[in-house]
Structure 1
């Protein structure tokens, strides 16, 4: 599941000094997607466990904790959810949380992380296609509002479409555009990725926007079709909900001692 990549020290420090125990912390964003620029920030995502005393008491619950900081020139964006909130998101057609859960770029892990991954595979439904269709459409609109347009939203557009297609066809989460393109074999993506990785986070787009629009619409149509013929279920089975609930109860009770 993990890679041999060595991460900058601030990522390990952020996981170690988090105010609550972490079930996992993984790298998301452009580094996960395979097209980080030298000046790209690091997106660290994970799950924390609120103590039973806070959950049962009158404290205002810190279900989501975010922290953006710059350390020695490195931009770090840390966002974690409490286990209950994260599990609730897992049960919705939310591609974000599944990508974070299945990210091979692991900074912090636990045995419960492995349990969540196994259950996460059983949370995938045909309606996850809506997440990727909506996200890609939003990125395409963003691209067309920019002057000049940047490579980043174009890569995000194609990354989400190809992730959605791969998910509908295989039931597996794959967020790395370079890996996805081994099957898609779209030569222009290799060129765009190379430009982004060698350039800046705001690297301008060079190329025929009309060509990319035709590809965007073609791949959108493929994803819509794949959603209709996929073998994936329409909803998460009840056994998965129960398994997640039992895991959450066990985590809270273990914390309570």
Structure 2
């Protein structure tokens, strides 16, 4: 039986524990231990609809011998059910720690997801770089605005603009407050005083489309923000004093999550 067919059988049971059951199946199928698993995408960001799919990201470890082998362990697992209702993307712990050490935005957003299926309190916020995150969100808005900017909105444009608004709010949050931003768009809306932006976002969250006049205003907000030299100055001024990129910290994290699966007697010679 194909892997997707096996996942489909779990989905067909329609259990409230479907995601947990699939994660358990993946542990058995790949001989891994899932250390951390969260919802990402629209269900974590606060603009999902009843028919939104589930985007689950997770971090796993493999048996110890695979980390002391000449061949690299499986670095990622990417799979889904046949209806694409459930999408799973997993990172090996070694790859995840490398990304964490570089303040990778995907890892940051995993650490801040409000929906956790497996939580081992793996991350510390002060190990991420605010400056890198701020530049990422601004860059995300820039690339999406260039790719998806329209004057007349259709239903397919609505979600693109929600992602752009979220990136705009997160970049502003970091630049103006010097703090780590939430990932949920409704929480982010509480941090802005731009009434028009709040109005437009709430309309989009209610699955309404914006008029051409409203689109003109929203596009202008993004354009001014992306061309703002003051914002660029604020980003350069963001202190990274709290950002600690010591190699030992991430190496210790890696050792802890790889070794914790095994009795001390089995790993004493490696420590």
Normalised TM-score (structure 2): 0.77
Query: 5+ residue gaps in structure 2?
Result: 1-14, 264-271
- State the match for 2:48 in structure 1: 36
- State the match for 1:158 in structure 2: 165
Shift in Å, 1:215: 0.8
Kindly indicate whether residue 173 of structure 2 is the aligned counterpart of residue 180 of structure 1: no
Shift in Å, 1:167: 2.9
CA deviation profile, 1:45-83 (whole Å, cap 9, x unmatched): 121112211222255521111112256xx7111111111
Shift in Å, 1:89: 0.9
Q: Contact (CA 8 Å) 1:24, 1:46: kept in 2 or not?
A: yes
The one of 118, 129, 136 equivalent to 2:141 is: 136
Q: Contact (CA 8 Å) 1:98, 1:173: kept in 2 or not?
A: no
Kindly indicate whether residue 110 of structure 2 is the aligned counterpart of residue 94 of structure 1: no
For 1:68 and 1:196, the matched residues in 2 are separated by 28
Q: How do 1:1-257 and structure 2 match up within 5 A?
A: 8-19=16-27, 20-59=32-71, 61-70=73-82, 75-110=85-120, 114=121, 116-118=122-124, 120-144=125-149, 149=154, 150-168=157-175, 169-199=177-207, 205-208=210-213, 209-220=215-226, 221=228, 223-233=231-241, 236-239=243-246, 241-257=247-263
Q: Structure 1 segments of 4 or more deviating over 6 A?
A: none
For 1:174 and 1:12, the matched residues in 2 are separated by 25
For 2:260 and 2:102, the matched residues in 1 are separated by 27
* Structure 1 pair 11–188 and aligned structure 2 pair: CA distance change class (3 A): farther
Shift in Å, 1:245: 0.8
For 1:255 and 1:186, the matched residues in 2 are separated by 50
For 1:102 and 1:88, the matched residues in 2 are separated by 18
Shift in Å, 1:206: 3.8
Q: Contact (CA 8 Å) 2:57, 2:90: kept in 1 or not?
A: yes
* Structure 1 pair 81–137 and aligned structure 2 pair: CA distance change class (3 A): same
Shift in Å, 1:141: 2.2
Other structure's SS at 2:251 match:
helix
Higher alpha-carbon deviation: 184-193 or 168-177: 184-193
